[in-house]
Each structure stands twice: as structure tokens, then as C-alpha cells.
Structure 1
Amino acid sequence: MFRPFLAVLFCLAMPAHAEVAGKVRVIDGDTFAIGETRVRLHGIDTPESTQMCGARGVSPWPCGAWVSDKVRSVYDGADARCAEVDIDRYGRVVAKCFVGGEDVGQHLVAEGLALAYAKYSQDYLTDESSARDAGRGLHGMAFERPARFRAVQRDARAKTAALGQEVPEGCRIKGNISSSGGTMIYHVPGQRDYDATVISEARGERWFCSEDEARKAGWRRARR
């Protein structure tokens, strides 16, 4: 006879999913600030703001900054309503956000500015497939999937940590000194030998945050 009462108590104890509403300030392609709340858009993934993309035979380009600028041009200052789905390990609210009744995540994936983050949601897989078939946004260019970019960064940090080094945040250009002749060459993400290149600070090798910085320090770009 106490079961209905206990059920009510159980429901009251369950945390309610919050709603965040207000004007958007775009942090990067998949992260907004609404007031004091950081919101990570649910079910999508975009290039990191410092990410450079490219492929063999294609010059690296700042895909992360490009996407962030595109998203900012559409949503910065817009009124959004966001329904909380989760809280991530960084303390951000993970949410589905809507502007003018439109699902922001779906719009970004459909326009090729974001990818469906299948690890966490299957909601936008069809939208990504359509954008890819049409060559919209990122799909019309050479780019590295953000998850792959982050994995390479983690691997690079692990390798340099084993050598007692630290990779500067956002600095992924590898300044390598050839063993034959001592030529100073830098490698950017997407080039043939990038992943295989390990930086040895003991030999004078180093990380760079931009190609301009590398050139000014006397390094030249690897040909492949």
C-alpha cells in the first residue's frame, strides 16, 4: 500500500534534465556559451578550433577556424533553447539546441560544417551522408575527422612524454632535423611522413604552432 508513495519519492529524487535558454556566444563549431553555461552540442563533432586539415597532395588549411567562423556567422547572438542530454567530463552541458525551432546540430551536419558523432548518437547519420554525397562544406575539401585529429594529438603527446617532453597546446607542426646533412625540415599534419616523425628535443628538434613561425626559425617545409 506504500508503493505509490515510494514511487513519487523516487521520481522526485531523479535529477530533472535542465533547459538552457538565451543568446548564443559561439566558442567553436560545436560549443556555445549561453550566459554562464557552456553547452556542447549533442550528437555532432566539428574540427578543433586550432585544427589544420589536409591530405597528401593538398596544402594544409585551417579547417577548425573556418568552421568556427561559419558557425559564428549564423548563430552568434541568436536566441537558443537547449535541452540537456548529459554533462560531459569537462563540466559542460551536453544538449540539443534549437534556434527558431530548427535543430542546430542537424543544420550544421546537413550543411557539412559538422559530422555526425556516431559514438554518442545516431541522429544525424543520414544528414551527414546527404552532405557528403552533395560535397557540401567540409565534404567538398580535404579534411581530417576531428576524432582522428585528437587521436593523433594524444599519440604525439604520449610519444613525447616518453622522452620527457611536452607538446605545446595547439602546436602540431614538427620541426625535424634530418640525420643525413642536418637539414631543418618541418612536417604539417596530412603530409606523408608526419605520423612517423618523432621530435627529439635533445637533437634540437621542436614543435611549431604555425608555418610562419617555423620558416622564421629557419626550417623549410617538407616536399611531401
Structure 2
Amino acid sequence: MEFELSPIEERVLGCLIEKEMSTPDYYPLTLNALVAACNQKNNRNPVMELDTATVEHTLFELRMEHKLAVEVSASGSRVMKYRHNIADHWSFSLSQMAIICELLIRGPQTPGDLRAHCSRLHTLADSSEVEHILEQLKNNEEGCFVVQLPRQPGKRERRWAHLFGGSEIEIPEEEPEPMAPVAEMQTGPSRLERIQTLEDEVADLRQEIGDLKAAFEQFKTAFE
């Protein structure tokens, strides 16, 4: 991987991707809007409390050192805005961008988690489609962008992580699939998993409404 981003750089880049996909009418983002996006309480793991100076410095690093962000000026406005320029480096599809975004802002996740979380950015049919996209990102001719992590104790699905943070995540060797107890065999998600998915989707909808309200207030302020 060509880049080794810090956790804060990952958060800022992930938020730029997220807002481009979820609220394109209010993208690129002002510095204040980006700070608010980085510090959201939902759709983020871990939750951060970044100040304006930190985000501004991080944008400078993304722009000057990594060439992953661009400063733009809107016609008739003195407020600078920011966008990512990943397309200048790699050719990702919308589904690949959605998965990369969710891994950047939420950390390692299972294919099932990714399918549910990506639904607000780009629709993915099922976990099988997510696994196929993850394999594409893992074996991409432009580089290896994701890695499958070892299975956590008591978990059936293995998580995936992005590799934009450099070599801090070691690619594990393949491990044998354990035999699942008969009592654990099932054809679909459990009731608790379905409830968690619904709760995540409700939280995503609430956040999107909040983003739209904030963007509308910002829009009104610009004409006052």
C-alpha cells in the first residue's frame, strides 16, 4: 500500500467519502461541516472529539503529503471547501467505495455488518456480494486494499479491515474452518442480529436527517 494514514487521517478521508455518497448536494464540505462529520456519535468507531485545528492540520497532510484531498472555492463564497480525490489514484466502483468508506469510519467489520452499514451509501444485495467485493479489493491489480482478520473467539464470521493505515495490520495465514455445532447451524441471521441491523438502519436514517437539517441551516446562513 502506497499510503500509511494515521487514525485521524483515516477518519477525515472516510468522512469526505461518506458525505459525497450520502449527501452529494452539500458536498464538498466546509471545515466546520467536516469537523461535525468526524465527531458524529453514530456511524463511527471509535467516537472522536476532534477540534477545528486538528482537522485543519489533517486536511493539510492529506492534501500536501498524501495528495488525497483537495481545497476548492465555491463561486461567490469566501468559505473554502474540501473534497477527496481518490479517483486520481485508483479506479474504485461505487460498491467498493462504500465498503472502503465504512471500514475507514467504523473499523473492522464482518461482511454482514458491511452489507447493513453500506445500505445508506450504496445498496448491496447480500453478504455474498460483499464477500465478492472484498475479494476484489484484496486481489486488486492496483494493490491490496483489505485483509481478512483471524476469527474472534465465539464468533462465526471473520472481520475484514482496510490497509490504508499501512503495515500495522499483518495479513494472517489461512486458518481451518471450525466445525459448527449442530445447535448453531442456521440458514439466516439470528433474531438479535436482525434487531441490531434494524437499529443501525434507524440510526443511519436519523443521522441523514440531522445532516440534511445542518446543511439546510448552513445554506440559509450563506444568504443572510
Give the TM-score taking structure 2 as reference length: 0.26
Higher strand share: 1
RCO comparison, higher one (Cα < 8 Å, 6+): 2
Q: Which has the larger radius of gyration?
A: 1
Higher helix share: 2
